[in-house]
Structure formats: structure tokens, C-alpha cells
Structure 1
Amino acid sequence: MYIDYDRKAHDWHSAWNSRDAKAICGLYADNVVFISPFVAKLGLSERGVLTDIRALYDYVSMTLSRVANLKYDMVANCVGSQGQTIVYRNQSSHIVAETLEYNDEGLIRLANVAFSTAPIKRKNYGSR
């Protein structure tokens, strides 16, 4: 099955920045495995793993309500042999890498999220 990873990255980015939990979860399979240290931080799973769309919807809804200024700025779309890693800067200036794998219907079946350990300071070169 052909997957347009640039389109997938665009759709993912647009959904998250829309702050619409239904639009976001519409990108994921019902049996998604979602792994993130933020899941553990919110107390939703000790290991940071969610294993279905209902749990992901609860996580997304909680995240959107807790992070009023949530915004992702794309840094890179890295394509691999079995999926992609979307790299972005979040509203706290942390660099985040989210590795996504897709099922046969083109929905995200696995998402593994990793955060930088400290915000990355923006540098101003020249007169920008």
C-alpha cells in the first residue's frame, strides 16, 4: 500500500493544531498503541502506554484542556521503511519526535513519542 507521508504529516499537524479531539483521533486506528512519557505524567498509564482509541481520546481531551496554548511547529518529516517520524517544536519550545506506523487502512496503528529533555533556545542570527 502506498502512503503519502508528506500528506500524512500535513494532516497530523493540521489536526493537532486545530485542537479538535475528534479530528486528531480520526487519524488513529481503533486498536492504536500510543506511547508517550506525557501519558505517564498525566497518570493515565504507569508505563506511558495507551492501547485503544477510547484511551487515546481521553488523553487528547485531557491534554487539550490542560495545555491551553498547545501549538506544534513542524521541524522535519523523516520517512523510514515502515513509517515516519514527525519532528516538531511544541508550545514550550521542546523538540518532539513522534514515530508513526500505519495499518492497511492508512490509520496510525503505533505512535511513539519522545521529548527533548530541555527546551531548545531559539537563536536569532542576523536581522530576522
Structure 2
Amino acid sequence: MKAEKFNRFTSDWIRAWNNHDLEEIMTHYADDIDFRSPIIQQLGVSEEGQVRGKQQLKDYFERGLKKYPDLAFELYHELHGINSVVLVYRSVNNSISAEYMELNDEGKIQRVRAHYHWH
């Protein structure tokens, strides 16, 4: 993916999250998504901190949006790789977050590893 496409992808992803538009958020993810995050554990979704498939991911995101009604992301850095991107941003409760995302051939996110720094 070229830099312009990554930039557009990232701005669309951030906008969808900041609008709390769950349907738009989900358009960024592949059907076979593998998503791992400590927040999955904190919300009691999965002891392993992992969800698989678009429906499980949607359920997790819906729970997160309800728990954090003031959720807003502020992008700090966007790092491009080969069919991957790392986004570093301010997130829940002013925490610093970084997500490593692998994209499939259609430009949909198929694998995520989320990382957080809590104060």
C-alpha cells in the first residue's frame, strides 16, 4: 500500500472511531480478523484477550463504546510497513496506545495487536 492510501485509511479509521460509528468502524476489518488487546480482558470479553471474526469484534467494540462514551483518538504517529501499519495515538483515559495492524490484499485489517500505556 502506498503512503497516500495508508494516510487515507488512517484518517478514515480515526474519524469513524471519533464519530462512534460502529458500522463505519467495522468496514475497516476483514471477516477473519484476529484481534488481541488487554482491553478485551479488562472488559471481560475473553480471558485470553483475543477475539476472532467480525461478529465477535463488533460485539467487543460495541461494549467498549458503551463503557467509554467520551472515547476520542488523537493520532500521534503512523508507521508504514509491508501490508501493515502501526498507529500511535492518545486513547481511553488519556492513555497512549499503539496498534499493529496487518492488512489483507483488499486493504482490510486482518490482524491487530493493541498495546497501551496507562498512567
Question: What is the TM-score of this pair, normalised by structure 1?
Answer: 0.87
Indicate the residue corresponding to 1:38 in structure 2: 39
CA root-mean-square deviation: 1.1
Q: Which runs of 5+ in 2 are unaligned?
A: none
Distance 1:10 1:108 in 2: 15
Give runs of aligned pairs for residues 88-99 of structure 1, distance below 5 A: 88-99=89-100
Q: What SS does structure 1 have at the residue aligned with 2:72?
A: coil
Indicate the residue corresponding to 1:113 in structure 2: 114
Runs of at least 4 residues off by over 3 Å: none
Give runs of aligned pairs for residues 42-81 of structure 1, distance below 5 A: 42-81=43-82
Indicate the residue corresponding to 1:83 in structure 2: 84
Decide which structure has greater helix share: 2
Q: Which runs of 5+ in 1 are unaligned?
A: 119-128
Displacement of 1:82 after TM fit? 3.6
Q: What SS does structure 2 have at the residue aligned with 1:92?
A: helix
> Which string of whole-angstrom CA distances, capped at 9 and with x for unpartnered residues, describes residues 46-90 of structure 1?
110111000000011111111010000110101123411011001
Tell me which structure has the larger Cα radius of gyration.
1
